[in-house]
Amino acid sequence: MNSFQSKLPEVGTTIFTIMSSLAVEHNAINLGQGFPDFMMSEELTGLVSKAMNNGFNQYTHMNGFPLLRERIAEKVEKLYQTKINPEAQITVTPGGTYAIYTALTTVLNKGDEVIVFEPAYDSYIPNIEINGAKAVRISLQFPDYSIPWNEVQQSITANTRMIMINTPHNPTGAVLTENDIEQLRKIVAGTNILILSDEVYEHLIFDNLQHQSILRYPDLLERSFVCFSFGKTYHCTGWKLGYCITSPELMKEFRKVHQFNCFSCDTPKQVALAEYLQNEEAYKTLGSFIQQKRDYFRKLMQATPFTCIPSHGSYFECYSYDFTNEADKDLAIRLTKEYGVASIPVSVFYKNGEDNHVLRFCFAKKEETLLEAAERLQKIK
């Protein structure tokens, strides 16, 4: 076999796979990877069976089941008071991560620069680099993980093609404010800079805060790809279904890439989701449902040697520590092996491995799971 040059020479197995495997090996409670351990809606799974039994088992439209796109557009108008054309601006994708990759592949060329905020979801930088572009990394300000907008302004060059934002943020649970959106607007005004907004946790937002979706701002949406996940919204991460919303012009180009990479997504699940989206309470109550789990876990963690860094959204909350000088990755491995609780070290979300002694825990679990995990962590020495 002829040798070839890797397109991602620095990329190995993800930390999520490593920690999940370690959790299985040591029979640990897995608070690392972001997936629930409780059942999803029986109504929604029933609707999938209904769709299958009604014959919706062949390819649907490349852009997504038409009725589902219409229902998404209706939801956007109700939530964000923005009219979206379901035919020209919405494409259903096999997950939010796919939508992000496709958006980047649609517009990036060799030599382009993309501003990325770290700690960053682990797919961002490899997605940028595999397209021949350069990730310009800016660290969020520790410990509140806010964006240093002055540094963003200073990082803009003639090659800046895109700014990537993520709210609610993974891994930290930080959320953007109206002031953040105003700062972003000032920076891109009068430029050709595009925006990619990862909003897969749009409904998992807490403390009566308002989700600052790019969809609220038509002037920004014109230059943005906004990516979402049904899996995160409805606790069915294994379904791998999401969608992307953008301007008609950008969506035309997005679909050129999409049609040869995926072509069409799971039909019966799309049919089911189209019907289930009529149940507005199902997504309007998600934030309070998950916040109860955050608050419960936070209370339990007060009896451990960790210090909470408050999360305002997502499945996650970060905790700092000073009871040991161990690197966060070493501590995460030790906690899995010795105490039976798996977490994710936040340093892995920085390309340079910046270590602020912080671990990320997923609290989207059953109460008994969280209780058992906290009781184990309370024994740490």
CATH number of the domain that residue 305 is part of: 3.90.1150.10
Last residue of a domain, one of 253, 278, 303: 278
What residues pair up with 21 in beta bridges, in sequence order?
Answer: none
Last residue of a domain, one of 223, 244, 278: 278
> Which pLDDT value is given to residue 16?
81
State which residues of the chain have pLDDT below 50. none
Residues 153 and 217 in one domain: yes
> How long, in residues, is the chain?
381
* Three-state DSSP state, 229: strand
> Which pLDDT value is given to residue 15?
81
Does pTM top 0.75 for this prediction?
Answer: yes
- Within a 10 A sphere around the Cβ of 194, how many other Cβ atoms? 24
Within 13 Å of residue 342, how many CA atoms lie on the same side as its CB? 20
Residues 73 and 142 in one domain: yes
Residues 251 and 305 in one domain: no
Whether residue 176 is contained in a domain is answered as yes
The tens digit of pLDDT for each residue in 228-268 reads 999 999 999 999 999 999 999 999 999 999 999 999 999 99
Whether residue 249 is contained in a domain is answered as yes
CATH number of the domain that residue 233 is part of: 3.40.640.10
Residues 231 and 164 in one domain: yes
Whether residue 116 is contained in a domain is answered as yes
Domain count, the chain: 2
Percent of the chain as helix, strand, coil, to the nearest 5 = 45, 15, 40
Last residue of a domain, one of 278, 300, 327: 278
Q: What is the residue type of 262?
A: C
Taken in order 311, 30, 10, 324, the sign of the CA dihedral is positive
Residues 271 and 309 in one domain: no
Query: Structural domain of residue 141, as residue ranges?
Result: 58-278
CA 67: distance to chain centroid? 25
The tens digit of pLDDT for each residue in 69-105 reads 999 999 999 999 999 999 999 999 999 999 999 999 9
b vs e for 86-106, b when ≥16 Cβ sit within 10 Å of the residue's Cβ? Answer: bebbbbbbbbbbbbbbbbbbb
Q: What is the residue type of 73?
A: A
Q: How far apart are the first and last CA of the chain?
A: 52
Residues 223 and 296 in one domain: no
Whether residue 10 is contained in a domain is answered as no
Q: Which of 187, 190, 196 lies closest to 221, judged by CA? A: 196
> Which pLDDT value is given to residue 2?
61
Residues 306 and 166 in one domain: no
